[in-house]
Amino acid sequence: MNKSELIDQVAKDAGITKKQASDALDSFTNSVVSTLKKGDTVTLVGFGTFSVAQRSARNGRNPQTGTIVKIKAAKVPKFKPGKGFKDIVASSKAKK
């Protein structure tokens, strides 16, 4: 599912226009991004938690030449699914 398909589904499920669904989705993603940028987390009970993780500096290898390359430390976004979300996904896999 891509963004436009998600907007269509939200509009249909909520009984709103595609424009309203698009605005709501954009507001949600912008809010999550700005909250993570501040270093805070976003927790949606039953769905999951968006947070920022610190990835330490490490050595990597250039696959073409085999030389060792230093990779800088970085902050990266992280998502941890909630129990309810994991249970739903796990039960749908079992049915297939």
The CATH classification number of 41-96 equals: 4.10.520.10
At 42-55, the pLDDT tens digits run: 999 999 999 999 99
> CB 7: neighbour CB atoms within 10 A?
19
Show me where the domains of the chain are located. Answer: 1-39, 41-96
What pLDDT sits at residue 95? 58
According to the model, what pLDDT value does residue 94 have? 59
* pTM for this model (two decimals): 0.78
Percentage helix, strand, coil for the chain under 3-state DSSP, each rounded to 5? 45, 30, 25
In whole angstroms, give the CA distance from residue 90 to residue 65. Answer: 41
Structure tokens at 16: 């709103």
Which conformational region is residue 83 in: left (phi greater than 0), alpha (psi within -120 to 50 degrees), or beta?
alpha
pLDDT, tens digit, 9 for 90 and up, residues 30-89 = 999 999 999 999 999 999 999 999 999 999 999 999 999 999 999 999 999 999 999 999
Both tokens of 5, joined, read: 């398909």
